[in-house]
A and B are shown apart, each in its own frame.
Chain A
């Protein structure tokens, strides 16, 4: 059964590559659902590695950033890893401005991330 409506998951062993269904993540209801689905995924695969590939993401609300910080804490508490790839320049800029780039593992593209994380 596919319990996820906001994310797509491509798993190879203990590495789970996640993409967002919405390309503009700004609707509060979508953000809430997205957060819940990611938390469910992280709980189901506790201690494993998750790569959020943001290639199709055109816009990311700051509420999403706030949620990602909570999720990162949750993943790290189980010795798991949360990483990102394919951030568009403006998203990279947000991460740099807020120093979230020091908090998260960020890769230029999916292949580089998979090679490093597997």
Chain B
């Protein structure tokens, strides 16, 4: 078995604290697999955004709705698929937080952060499924 490989598939209630607990578990695992602090920061922030979006905006904090998280680390690649039970969204309709007065808004930066920090981000179906990958940075790059 590859010592650098790990996977986890789980489902959580739409409660922010449950999301935080799950992120902590994934972060801890990546730390044991020797991912750099900067990569951990990027993955942690992207995970926080995508899971909290699923809980708050996708499932409207309805505890009866679940968020499923399918996470995989293989060689130097981290992959996660997050799915909520909401109606999804159209990426193009989300305002750019860096344009004009949007910079002063107190929210709305999540997708921008995710898309810059991860190697790839894909919004699947109606947008209620987000698949992200992150390639492990080389020491020079991180």
Contacts and interface: CB of A to CB of B under 8 A. Distances in A.
Contacts of A62: 45, 48-49, 109-110, 113
Contacts of B127: none
Interface residues of B, number: 26
A70 interface: yes
Contact of A97 (B41, B48, B106, B113): B113
Per DSSP, chain B at the interface is helix
Contact of A98 (B37, B42, B109): B109
Interface of A: 26-28, 58-59, 61-62, 65-66, 69-70, 73, 88-91, 93-94, 97-100, 102-103
A94 B45 CA distance: 10
Contact of B103 (A59, A88, A100): A100
Interface string B30-46: 00000001101110110
Given A90-B41, A94-B113, A66 B98 contact: no
Given A26-B20, A98-B97, A98-B113, A103 B41 contact: no
B107 interface: yes
Interface string B98-120: 10000111110110110011000
Contacts of A69: 104-106
Of B37, B109, B142, most buried by chain A (CB within 10 Å of CB) is: B109
Given A28-B20, A99-B103, 8 more contacts: A27-B20, A62-B45, A62-B48, A66-B106, A89-B142, A93-B117, A98-B103, A103-B103
Contact of A59 (B44, B98, B142): B44
Nearest to A103: B103
B49 A28 contact: no
